[in-house]
Amino acid sequence: MKTTAILFLLTIICTTVFGQTDKTKRPSPPDSVKVTTSDGVTIDVNYSRPSLKGRQIGVDIVKVGEIWRTGANEATTVAFDKDVLIEGKKLTKGKYSLYTIPGEQETIVIFNKTWNQWGTKYDQAQDALRVNVRNSTSTTPQEQFKIDVDKSGKIALIWGDHLLPVQVKAAR
C-alpha cells in the first residue's frame, strides 16, 4: 500500500513538472526559423505564435503606440552571426530580443540587448537599435502570428492582414 501511494505521488509530481516544460502544448506554441542569406548572414529567430482568437490588432491587442513583445511567452530572439545593417543602420553581431511599437503608417522595430527573459520585461535602456519600418498588408492573412526570413534577408512579421518587412544586409 505504501509503495502504491509513493508511486502515485511520484506520477503526479512528474506529470506536473515535466508536463509544464512541453512548450508545444501552450496556447501560443514556439516556432523558429533559421536562414543563411545570399550575402552570408545567418539569421536565427525563436518566438512563440499567439493567435487572434477573434481579437482585432490595433484595438484588442498590439495597440498603436504601445510596446509589444512581438510574439508571446518568452522574449522573441533574433541572432545574427555577422555585423548587419537593419534598414541601413548598423547592428553588431549577436543575439537580441525583438520588440515593436506599432504606428498608423510605420512601426518602430527594436533590437534589445537583454534576450534571455520573459517577453514583457522590456527595458528601453537596453535597446541596441531602433528602426522605423513602413507598415504593409499581407495577401495571406495569418490567424497565428508568423515570422518568415528569406534568402534576401527580409524578415517578415505577419499577423492577421498586417505585414512588417524588415530588411537585413551584411555590414561591409
In sequence order, what are the beta bridge partners of 91? Answer: 84
The grid coordinates of residue 8 equal 502515485
Q: What is the pLDDT of residue 27?
A: 76
Q: What is the pLDDT of residue 20?
A: 53
| Residue 135 CB neighbour total at 10 angstroms | 14
Q: What is the pLDDT of residue 18?
A: 47
- For the chain, how far is it from start to end, CA to CA, in angstroms? 71
- SS3 (DSSP) at 82: coil
List all residues 6 or more positions away from 29 whose beta carbon is below 8 Å from its beta carbon.
Answer: 23, 48, 49
List all residues 6 or more positions away from 30 whose beta carbon is below 8 Å from its beta carbon.
Answer: 23, 24, 46, 47, 48, 49, 73
**pLDDT tens series, the chain, 172 aa:** 565 555 555 544 444 444 457 777 877 899 999 999 999 999 999 999 999 999 999 888 999 999 999 999 999 999 999 999 999 999 999 999 999 999 999 999 999 999 999 888 899 999 999 999 999 999 999 999 999 999 999 999 999 999 999 999 999 8
Q: Contact at 8 Å (CB) between 169 and 77?
A: no
Q: Contact at 8 Å (CB) between 156 and 164?
A: yes
Q: What is the pLDDT of residue 169?
A: 98
Q: What is the pLDDT of residue 14?
A: 46
Q: What is the pLDDT of residue 103?
A: 95
Q: Which of 132, 172, 162, 166 is nearest to 149 (CA)?
A: 166
Region of residue 50 (phi > 0: left; psi between -120 and 50: alpha; otherwise: beta) = beta
The grid coordinates of residue 115 equal 534576450
Q: How many CA atoms lie within 13 A of 91 on its CB side?
A: 31
Residue 93 to residue 71: CA distance in whole angstroms: 22
